[in-house]
Amino acid sequence: MFARLSHLLLAALAVAGVVFADPSADEEVRAFIAREGAAVRSLNFGRRQAASSQTRHLRPTYDEPVVRRSKRDITPPDVGQVADFGGQDPQPIRNGNGDTFLANSNHEIDAQNPDNVAAPTTDAGTVPNLKWSFSLSHTRLLKGGWVREQTITDLPPSKDLAAAEIRLSPNAYRELHWHRVAEWGYILNGTGRISAIDESGRSYISDVKGPLNGTDPDIYYFPPGVPHSIQALDQGLEILLIFTDGNFDASGTTFMLSDWLAHTPLEVVAQNLGVNTSVLANIPQKDPYILQSTVPPPPLGHAADQEVADPAGHVPSPYVFHLDQQEKTVAPGGGGWVKIQDSVTNFPVSKLLASALVVVEPNGLRELHWHVNDEWLYVISGHGRATAFPGGSSARTFDFQPGDTAVFPVSYGHYVKNLSPTEPLIFLELFKSDRFVDFTATQWLALVPRQVVADLLKVPVSVVEGFAKEKQIIVA
């Protein structure tokens, strides 16, 4: 009976045009059935297109003919330059290796990352991703602003530092809070006012500003545990925030005042503050993170108007550092300038974070160097390129645009090159350290016995004699 039903079903499918052929007509199949006996029934194969869902492991079929794309290659000689695709979509081709995309690719992302598509031949081995763009971060929209983060879940190699960009609308507040870790801020734009107290109850209030009228902006630093507030003034405020733990979203890292009070018995809060419980009826039950001011604050330059008389006095070391009051260090290599801040040199309170504002002139190069701490990088403006060398004959090259972040783990050799012939590349270097430390390749080679270097690099001693004996920082 089952055999008859099988043949009837086969006939029906054949009429419907679903079956290509009866496999029992195949000699090998017939031999298999004869060998195995009645336990095996004939198999029938229907068209895959007749299925209600496509089989996942199959490659898709295309009705349109394959488009032959141009195999544009590097113009010889290949000395590691960025691949030039002649205004066309980037293709994974270099030195005759690789081939064009036959399927789709996100060409916009490819165009921003040409060294992912057609890397220089010096790239080798397996190097993890060391770059993250804030444009890929989820943006949390709030009444009075927004915030987006880069933590260890976004950039796993960044274990020392996490970051956030925060925007406050005019007169809006970042809620009263404190952290288990240190907080460092770079004013990207706008104006604002910060306030805090230290462990002795000494107070601090100061205005902060972004790059107004071509000047360098302010930075600030709050040590771990220091409670503080941030308020935008009439222009609004945008800040790059750095925290001294890559796993910044972990529980027990950030503490909001209203959240704490909302989760403490009301009678305890009232007794602690010395007020009646009815006064506290409107305490927020969910921390607002950002909130709007009911009364505009005094304008920029009038922070003292909001200062509360403090019997303990003021903090002995300012939490704000004015970059526009710091002299720039012009690079001996002639390719730009830097401003370095750390607790050993000029910003005493910043004991857990050292920083540098770096300006690389068109076509300039932040020289080959390495650090004794992880370096966290943030691109403010311009377009750059860097190759990370972790040792072990491995290397990987990355491309950078504004808003990109990167990490070069401790001792990774690297450089940062400005790719623009007309615009400067401006970026920040940050370290979880009390001071800024780097080692540079050229200075080292210049101060090693010359014959040692000549033998290693297979160059004349006269070439080694021309190496610069002081750090070039940035090379023109």
31 phi/psi in degrees, rounded to 5? -65, -40
Report in angstroms the alpha-carbon separations of 278 from 214, 367, 415, 450: 51, 64, 61, 81
Q: Would you state the structure tokens that stand for residue 371, as one six-digit string?
A: 């650090």
Contacts for 426 with CB less than 8 Å, ≥ 6 apart: 357, 358, 359, 360, 379, 380, 381, 382
Report in angstroms the alpha-carbon separations of 70 from 67, 91, 93, 94, 424: 10, 9, 10, 13, 33
- Eight-class DSSP state of 280: G
Residue 174's nearest CA partner among 222, 234, 239, 235 is: 239
Q: Are 1 and 9 in contact (CB under 8 A)?
A: no
Q: Which helix (H) or strand (E) holds 378?
A: strand 375-381
Give DSSP secondary structure letters for 325-342: GSPPEE-TTBSEEEEEE-
Q: Would you state the structure tokens that stand for residue 370, as one six-digit string?
A: 């390495």
d(CA 180, CA 195): 18
Report in angstroms the alpha-carbon separations of 259 from 103, 148, 182, 196: 51, 20, 20, 19
What three-state secondary structure class fits 219? strand
Per residue in 80-104, is it b (16+ CB within 10 Å) or e — as a string?
eebbebeeeebbbbbeeeeebbeee
Q: Are 132 and 155 in contact (CB under 8 A)?
A: yes
End-to-end, the C-alpha distance of the chain in Å comes to 88
4 phi/psi in degrees, rounded to 5? -65, -40
> From the candidates 267, 429, 465, 470, which is the catalytic residue?
429
What three-state secondary structure class fits 457? helix
16 phi/psi in degrees, rounded to 5? -75, -5
CA atoms lying within 13 Å on the CB side of residue 234: 7
**429 noted as active-site residue:** yes
Residues with catalytic roles = 429
